[in-house]
Amino acid sequence: MSTTTIRLSDALKARIAKAAEAAGTTSHNFILEAIAERADQAERRADFHGEAERRWTEFLETGESIPWDEMRRYLTRRIQGEATPRPVSRKFAK
Distance CA 56, CA 10 (A): 47
How many independent structural domains does the chain possess?
A: 1
Please report whether residue 4 resides in a domain: no
Residue 3 falls inside a structural domain: no
Neighbour-count burial of 27, counting CB atoms closer than 10 A to its CB (0-12 exposed, 13-18 middle, 19+ buried): middle
Return d(Cα 16, Cα 7) in angstroms, integer. 13
- CA distance linking residue 16 with residue 27, whole number of Å: 6
How confident is the model over 11-68, as pLDDT tens digits? 999 999 999 999 999 999 999 999 999 999 999 999 999 999 999 999 999 999 999 9
Q: Residue 10: what pLDDT? A: 98
Q: Is residue 1 in a domain?
A: no
Integer-rounded Cα radius of gyration of the chain: 23
Domain that holds residue 80: 10-91
Q: What's the pTM?
A: 0.71
**What pLDDT was estimated at residue 94?**
62
